[in-house]
């Protein structure tokens, strides 16, 4: 009885203390190395705090959907989204805007990789012989690990992945896609080209066993998205200040968190292609 | 007499328990024909080698974070179980009411992870999400078990009380103390389950051990995985040492302070979830168009979910869990002698204890993923993972039961004789009832094995949530819940038959 | 004036008819002893009397009905649960009230249990447990006692002391016994049961040990 009351009280205090200070909170999709997510983005939080003169906090989340939900629920006001997650989030939060993207992001691409036992090699198109193999995507909500690869598979073969392949899996993230294809658990996989390049560079991939067989045409991907109601909560001009702070971020150490060369302005219409593709595939109503 | 006749006549002589077991085995064998159990991996050894190397070189990168995670794992487990004990007890008192029974069956048939995913929409990353994700299903479980235990106490003490004693007084002075030892031992067992659940909630983003475990595992940082797992095993294995009567108040009172603060709750979100998100899409967007149009859209929407997701999901879930159940039983029967005092002396039992703690504390999800590397994607990794995890648990319970037996002192010399003639016949009935209880749990656990490319109900639920389609997710979660309730009712009917 | 009465009743135990038809009047102020072989229906009769007249009776069942993991004090206190509010009982459960302890202690002293007041009943011997059940009935102080073999686990002098106490605390009592000698000493009226019927109903002073032995 007393224990119960105590606990409820404690919870209320905890909840109350969080209400007391209007902290500016942001998050990022957990697209790579989640163990480092907090360290990586803490530096960005410190930078933003200094630039915006208000308390800034980074919250790590576990899935693309959780990122979207946190943004939609106004528990975070700024998020580093992928193409698809950004489109979904903006659809759910009227007034929210894509404000900045990485220099590389307008021309992002996915790699299709194959285990060496398939005998496939790099080509201009996906070969017809992938019919009947096993295939893994990354996360279900990923642009480069799910949406665009699925789109191109449908484009080239006129079939859904389930019909085309013997088995279709979702590894959960890009690094695991590499591991699963390298071990031959799946014969094929599709992933974010930057994660692949970084893994190859770090010597984490045995390129004798797994290699890139096709790269997709480019598409717009990651971006910073801001909620539309910030000025009311954080003061006039806050949205502009956040936008400026993001765009002028040039410290290589900060940029390596993403990793991007730098940031350039973005707008919602830049991601129209992604939205169309998502609608076509049925990932968006 | 022909062979078939001999078989048939012996069939009628077998006990209900044996017939039931044979029935389950036959169903599982039928399932084998339709199940996808192919081994398709090509060369798993490089990754396996990395894994083994990591497991033998455990290292903790950020010990302060891990300590925090350890504390919050315990905190969520204790606070969640404490709430569930209170809630479950109150519900147990009303368990004669059919509505309450139905409510409890419903809440406990939904997996903790699904509850967490639902509450993530409500509260976001707030301690309440994890707290309720444990407390709600556990309340349903406690309610049923507590009600059974309270119903099984001797009636006589309550009968001797003076007339007019009243319900509360009777409860406090007779039924409760009489059931107390059973209540305590069950609650303590559940607390261990709570720690496991709490750790696993990290997979969806709560700051418990599972968070770091999943992160490290998905990046292939196997040394960290090893260190985290070892910490977790240690925590479970030493439960008897730190979980004492005198530590309980401190643990329960302290737990709310280690839940972390998370993000403020925005109540509008909870309202939106109820009033918008879970309303079927065709009804939500139907300002224009007539009633008939939206109705036909709704039926289209429903049949889409039914035929493309729910039915295949139910089928795969059933096939997978029936096979897994029987393999679990075999595993348990093989493993329980390892910790039985009638099979091995105390030092000889130690490796068995360690093995069982490891096998039952390792989340199925990790086991399944490792096996996926080894065997390739099919139902096989899931079956083996479920069997190892649940088999160890039932093996542990059966072994503990066998240690409570008092057997004659001139036992057969050979272990195998002792096993088949003394132990197995005695523990088999309780083994069977553990299995029947576990049936529903195994079915619920197939939920989180969607990563293997097996399209169980859980796979479709996860997809719907990743696509932010909570209306679909809710329909599928309820489908899974109904399936579990059906299995639960069926298993209880079998239990009565035995 | 009759205190408890049964008119042409058939009594069953499970699905078996054990006794009947039975007609019995227990008059206020008399101590009635039931005699008969084990299984003849004494307990069934007592149970029936208890069920019909729970308001006025304290019961000492053969199996005692103690809550073994509670203390002697709490078990005895249960005799008066109906007199206090649920809250009072709740507090007393956690922290026994001094006034109630003062009430219970003299009873325990008379039964030789005073040192065991806060021991768990499970730790006591069979005879001690039986005396706890007696103490509970004494504490309840109901007008009528129904006791089923209340001294079966006690040795001679102890059994006599307990019988004397019961006689002293309860004006009216129905007690089953298997000791004929003791039945004659403490009972005013003896009833014997055989083959499902009440075969004897006599004042104790008209009976002798030998005349009763045929019922065993």
- B429: helix, strand or coil: helix
A176: confidence class by pLDDT, cuts 50, 70, 90? confident
Per-residue pLDDT at C208 = 83
B376 close contact with A: CB closer than 8 A? yes
C-beta atoms of B256 and A10 within 8 A? yes
Per-residue pLDDT at A19 = 45
Residues with Cβ < 8 Å from B409, sequence gap 6 or more?
Answer: none
By CB neighbour count within 10 A (0-12 exposed, 13-18 middle, 19+ buried), where does B62 fall?
Answer: middle
- Are A198 and A124 contained in the same domain? yes
Span C23-80, pLDDT tens digits: 888 988 999 999 988 888 889 999 999 998 888 999 999 999 999 999 999 999 999 9
| In-domain check, residue A5 | no
- Are A145 and A233 contained in the same domain? no
User: CATH code at A100?
Assistant: 3.40.190.10
Residue of B58, B51, B75, B72 whose CA lies nearest to B366: B51
Quote the Cα angle for B163-B165-B168, to 5°: 150
Task: Answer yes or no: are the C-beta atoms of B442 and B448 closer than 8 Å.
Answer: no
Provide the residue range defining the domain that includes A59: 13-105+220-281
Q: How many residues are present in chain B?
A: 498
B47 close contact with A: CB closer than 8 A? yes
Provide the residue range defining the domain that includes C123: 2-213
- Tell me, yes or no, whether chains A and C touch by having 3 or more C-beta pairs under 8 A: no
Span B385-414, pLDDT tens digits: 999 999 999 999 999 899 988 888 788 888
Per-residue pLDDT at A17 = 45
Helix (H) / strand (E) element for A113: namely strand A110-115
Instruction: Return the structure tokens found at B72.
Output: 């919050």
- Are A160 and A81 contained in the same domain? no
User: CATH code at C51?
Assistant: 3.40.50.300
- A127: helix, strand or coil: coil
- Whether B288 has a pLDDT exceeding 80, the answer reads no
Residue where a domain stops, chosen among A160, A192, A215: A215
Span C88-128, pLDDT tens digits: 999 999 999 999 999 999 999 999 998 999 999 999 999 99
* Chain C partners (3+ C-beta pairs within 8 A): B
B370: confidence class by pLDDT, cuts 50, 70, 90? confident
Per-residue pLDDT at A21 = 46
- Are A96 and A175 contained in the same domain? no
A1: confidence class by pLDDT, cuts 50, 70, 90? very low
Q: How many helices (H) and strands (E) does chain A have?
A: 12, 11
**Which part of chain B has CATH 1.10.3720.10?**
15-47+292-497, 58-271
Q: How many folded domains does chain C comprise?
A: 1
| In-domain check, residue A8 | no
Helical pair B176-201 and B127-151, crossing angle rounded to 10 deg? 150
Per-residue pLDDT at B287 = 59
Supply the mean pLDDT for chain C.
90
Per-residue pLDDT at B5 = 74
- Are A27 and A88 contained in the same domain? yes
- Are A130 and A206 contained in the same domain? yes
Q: Which fold has domain B58-271?
A: MetI-like fold (1.10.3720)
Span A58-97, pLDDT tens digits: 988 888 998 999 999 888 999 999 999 999 999 999 999 9
Determine what percent of chain C is predicted with pLDDT higher than 90: 63
- Are A115 and A154 contained in the same domain? yes
Per-residue pLDDT at B451 = 55
Considering only CB atoms, A92 lies closest to which of B44, B46, B468, namely: B468
Best probe of the B interface among C65, C74, C132, by most B CBs < 10 A, is C65
Q: Could you give the CA distance from residue A181 to residue A92 in angstroms, rounded to a whole number?
A: 35
| Average pLDDT estimate for C195-206 | 85
| In-domain check, residue A167 | yes
Considering only CB atoms, C59 lies closest to which of B160, B170, B172, namely: B160
B15-47+292-497: CATH superfamily: MetI-like (1.10.3720.10)
B161 close contact with C: CB closer than 8 A? yes
- Are A132 and A188 contained in the same domain? yes
| In-domain check, residue A171 | yes
Span B206-240, pLDDT tens digits: 889 988 888 888 888 889 889 999 999 998 888 88
Task: Answer yes or no: are the C-beta atoms of C172 and C26 closer than 8 Å.
Answer: yes
- Are A84 and A179 contained in the same domain? no
A278 close contact with B: CB closer than 8 A? no
Least confident range from A211-220, A236-245, B5-14: namely: B5-14
Q: How many folded domains does chain A comprise?
A: 2
- Whether A186 has a pLDDT exceeding 80, the answer reads yes
Quickly list DSSP for A132-190.
Answer: TSEEEES-TT-IIIIIHHHHHHHHHHSS-HHHHSSEEEE-SSHHHHHHHHHTTSSSEEE
Least confident range from A107-121, A192-206, B266-280, B352-366: namely: B266-280
- Are A144 and A193 contained in the same domain? yes
């Amino acid at each position: 009885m007393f224990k119960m009351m105590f606990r409820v009280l404690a919870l209320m205090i905890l909840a109350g203390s969080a209400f007391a200070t209007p902290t500016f909170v942001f998050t990022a999709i957990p697209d790579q190395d989640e163990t480092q997510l907090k360290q990586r983005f803490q530096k960005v939080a410190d930078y933003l705090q200094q630039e915006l003169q208000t308390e800034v906090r980074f919250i790590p989340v576990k899935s693309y959907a959780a990122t979207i939900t946190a943004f939609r629920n106004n528990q975070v006001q700024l998020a580093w989204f992928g193409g698809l997650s950004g489109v979904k989030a903006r659809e759910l939060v009227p007034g929210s805007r894509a404000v900045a993207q990485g220099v590389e992001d307008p021309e992002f691409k996915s790699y299709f990789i194959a285990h060496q036992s398939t005998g496939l090699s790099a080509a201009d198109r996906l070969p017809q012989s992938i019919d009947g193999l096993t295939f893994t995507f990354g996360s279900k909500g990923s642009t480069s690990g799910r949406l665009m690869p699925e789109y191109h598979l449908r484009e080239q073969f006129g079939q859904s992945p389930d019909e085309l392949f013997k088995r279709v899996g979702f590894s959960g993230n890009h690094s695991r896609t590499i591991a699963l294809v390298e071990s031959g658990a799946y014969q094929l996989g599709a992933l974010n080209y930057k994660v692949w390049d970084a893994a190859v560079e770090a010597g984490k991939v045995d390129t004798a066993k797994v290699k890139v067989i096709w790269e997709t045409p480019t598409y717009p991907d990651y971006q910073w998205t801001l909620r539309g109601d910030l000025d009311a909560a954080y003061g006039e001009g806050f949205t502009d200040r956040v936008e400026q702070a993001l765009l002028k971020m040039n410290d290589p150490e900060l940029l390596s968190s993403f990793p991007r060369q730098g940031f350039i302005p973005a707008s919602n219409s830049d991601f129209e292609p992604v939205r169309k593709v998502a609608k076509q595939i049925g990932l968006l109503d | 007499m022909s062979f078939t006749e001999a078989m048939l006549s012996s069939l009628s002589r077998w006990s209900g328990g044996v017939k039931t077991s044979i029935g389950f085995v036959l169903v599982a064998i039928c399932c084998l024909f339709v199940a996808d159990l192919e081994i398709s991996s090509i060369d798993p050894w490089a990754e396996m080698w990395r894994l083994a190397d990591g497991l033998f070189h455990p290292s903790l990168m950020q010990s302060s974070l891990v300590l925090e995670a350890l504390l919050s794992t315990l905190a969520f487990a204790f606070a969640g179980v404490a709430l569930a004990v209170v809630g479950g007890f109150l519900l147990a008192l009303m368990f004669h009411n059919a509505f309450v029974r139905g409510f409890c069956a419903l809440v406990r048939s939904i997996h903790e992870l699904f509850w967490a995913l639902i509450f993530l929409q409500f509260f976001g990353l707030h301690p309440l999400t994890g707290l309720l994700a444990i407390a709600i299903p556990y309340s349903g479980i406690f309610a049923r078990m507590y009600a059974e235990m309270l119903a099984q106490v001797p009636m006589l003490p309550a009968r001797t009380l003076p007339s007019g004693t009243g319900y509360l007084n009777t409860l406090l002075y007779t039924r409760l103390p009489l059931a107390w030892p059973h209540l305590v031992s069950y609650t303590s067992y559940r607390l261990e389950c709570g720690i496991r659940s709490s750790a696993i909630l990290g997979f969806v983003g709560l700051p418990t051990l599972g968070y770091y475990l999943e992160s490290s595992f998905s990046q292939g940082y196997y040394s960290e995985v090893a260190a985290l797992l070892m910490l977790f095993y240690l925590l479970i294995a030493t439960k008897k040492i730190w979980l004492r009567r005198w530590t309980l108040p401190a643990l329960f009172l302290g737990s709310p302070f280690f839940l972390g603060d998370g993000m403020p709750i925005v109540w509008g979100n909870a309202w939106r979830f109820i009033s918008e998100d879970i309303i079927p899409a065709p009804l939500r967007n139907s300002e224009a168009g007539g009633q008939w149009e939206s109705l036909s859209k709704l039926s289209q929407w429903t049949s889409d979910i039914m035929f493309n997701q729910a039915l295949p999901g139910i089928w795969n879930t059933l096939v997978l869990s029936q096979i897994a159940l029987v393999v679990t039983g075999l595993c348990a029967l093989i493993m329980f002698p390892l910790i039985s005092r009638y099979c091995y002396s105390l030092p000889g039992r130690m490796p068995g204890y360690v093995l069982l703690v490891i096998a039952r504390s390792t989340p199925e999800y990790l086991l399944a993923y490792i096996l996926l590397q080894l065997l390739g994607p099919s139902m096989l990794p899931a079956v083996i993972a479920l069997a190892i995890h649940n088999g160890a648990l039932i093996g542990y319970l059966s072994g503990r039961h066998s240690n409570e037996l008092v057997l004659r002192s001139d036992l057969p010399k050979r272990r195998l004789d002792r096993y088949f003639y003394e132990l197995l016949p005695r523990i088999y009935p309780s083994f069977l009832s553990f299995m029947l209880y576990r049936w529903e749990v195994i079915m619920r656990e197939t939920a989180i094995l969607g990563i293997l490319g097996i399209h169980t109900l859980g796979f479709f639920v996860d997809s719907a949530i990743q696509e932010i389609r909570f209306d679909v997710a809710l329909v599928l979660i309820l489908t899974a819940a109904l399936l579990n309730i059906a299995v639960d009712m069926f298993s209880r009917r079998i239990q009565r038959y035995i | 004036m009759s205190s408890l009465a049964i008119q042409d009743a058939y009594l069953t135990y499970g699905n078996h008819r054990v006794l009947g038809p039975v007609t019995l009047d227990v008059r206020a102020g008399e101590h009635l002893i039931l005699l008969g072989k084990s299984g003849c229906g004494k307990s069934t009769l007592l149970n029936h009397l208890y069920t019909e007249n729970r308001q006025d009776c304290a019961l000492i069942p053969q199996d005692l009905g103690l809550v073994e993991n509670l203390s002697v004090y709490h078990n005895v206190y249960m005799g008066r649960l109906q007199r206090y509010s649920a809250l009072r009982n709740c507090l007393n459960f956690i922290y026994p009230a001094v006034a109630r302890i003062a009430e219970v202690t003299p009873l325990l002293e008379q039964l030789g249990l005073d040192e065991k007041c806060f021991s768990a009943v499970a730790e006591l011997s069979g005879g001690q447990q039986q005396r706890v059940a007696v103490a509970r009935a004494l504490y309840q102080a109901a007008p009528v006692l129904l006791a089923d073999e209340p001294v079966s686990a006690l040795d001679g002098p102890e059994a006599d002391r307990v019988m004397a106490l019961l006689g002293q605390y309860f004006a009216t009592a129905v007690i089953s016994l298997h000791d004929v000698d003791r039945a004659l000493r403490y009972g005013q009226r003896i009833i014997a049961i055989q083959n499902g019927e009440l075969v004897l109903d006599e004042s104790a002073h008209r009976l002798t040990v030998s005349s009763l032995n045929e019922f065993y």
